[in-house]
């Protein structure tokens, strides 16, 4: 179980963005899935209190169900981005269907230039088409908040111990992960601030 994506995997897919080059202690906080009526308003309240911005990779089906929540994310000054329409696994989906699914989500956010593959699973053939239109954003710090047999403390440690300048951190904006992020999100942000990190949404 890798928290930080190994360098050899990053090297195999050089056209994907695993982390960002930065001259200062800038980091990128991202939330996958959603919007979710149980979780999104709470995440937004924490981010507002901590005065930071994040990037939300949203699922098209969820945007259609909860358009007002997608609007609230934008209104608060955060960045929204494409996480596909129906959260398809790229390894298990043929290229045409996968690309159609992404474009269905893109129709809901036409000015967007960012895409994150669900589960981080994407083929070289899919990459070759998508990289012409999108920056394909992966990560270098996976918190494992989605694992049901983990704990908030482990999620917190995964982030704090592995974040470095340029890190892209993944958390989840869904009901399944809520029990793991609810006790620690504000603490993680505060600790990273104490360590001198600055949160960015400039891709």
**Nearest partner of 35 among 53, 58, 12, judged by Cα:** 58
Give the CA dihedral 146, 86, 139, 78, nearest 10 degrees.
Answer: -100
Residue with token string 């090297």? 11
Are 28 and 20 in contact by the 8 Å Cβ rule? The answer is: yes
Clarify whether 140 is annotated catalytic.
Answer: no
**DSSP per position, 68-82:** HHHHHHHHTT-EEEE
Three-state secondary structure call for residue 99: helix
Active site residue 172: yes
Token couple for 102: 């992404």
Selecting among 32, 33, 101, 140, the annotated active-site residue is 32
Considering the candidates 33, 78, 101, 172, report the single residue annotated as catalytic: 172
Which residues are catalytic, by number? 32, 172
């Amino acid at each position: 179980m890798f928290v930080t994506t190994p360098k050899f995997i990053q090297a195999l897919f050089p056209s994907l963005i695993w982390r960002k080059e930065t001259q200062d202690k800038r980091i990128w906080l991202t939330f996958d899935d959603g919007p979710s009526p149980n979780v999104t308003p709470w995440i937004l309240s924490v981010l507002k209190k901590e005065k930071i911005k994040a990037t939300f990779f949203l699922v098209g089906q969820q945007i259609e169900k909860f358009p007002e929540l997608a609007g609230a994310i934008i209104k608060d000054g955060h960045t929204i981005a494409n996480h596909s329409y129906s959260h398809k696994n790229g390894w298990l989906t043929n290229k045409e269907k996968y690309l159609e699914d992404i474009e269905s989500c893109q129709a809901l956010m036409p000015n967007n230039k960012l895409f994150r593959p669900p589960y981080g699973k994407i083929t070289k053939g899919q990459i070759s088409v998508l990289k012409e239109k999108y920056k394909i954003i992966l990560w270098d710090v996976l918190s494992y908040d989605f694992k049901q047999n983990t704990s908030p403390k482990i999620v917190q440690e995964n982030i704090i111990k592995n974040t470095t300048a340029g890190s892209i951190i993944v958390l989840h904006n869904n009901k399944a992960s809520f029990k793991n992020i609810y006790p620690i999100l504000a603490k993680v942000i505060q600790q990273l601030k104490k360590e001198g990190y600055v949160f960015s949404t400039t891709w």
